[in-house]
Amino acid sequence: NAGVTQTPKFRILKIGQSMTLQCAQDMNHNYMYWYRQDPGMGLKLIYYSVGAGITDKGEVPNGYNVSRSTTEDFPLRLELAAPSQTSVYFCASSRTANTGELFFGEGSRLTVL
Partner 1 sequence: GDSVTQMEGPVTLSEEAFLTINCTYTATGYPSLFWYVQYPGEGLQLLLKATKADDKGSNKGFEATYRKETTSFHLEKGSVQVSDSAVYFCALANYGGSQGNLIFGKGTKLSVKP
Cis omega (within 30 of 0) for bond into 8? yes
Contact residues: partner 1, CB under 8 A: 4, 31, 33, 40-43, 45, 48, 50, 56, 58, 90, 92, 94, 96-107
Least separation in angstroms between CB 69 and partner 1 = 19
SS (H, E, C) 2-24: CCEEEECCEEEECCCCCEEEEEE
The nearer residue to partner 1, 85 or 107, going by C-beta atoms, is 107
Least separation in angstroms between CB 104 and partner 1 = 3
The nearer residue to partner 1, 43 or 52, going by C-beta atoms, is 43
Least separation in angstroms between CB 47 and partner 1 = 11
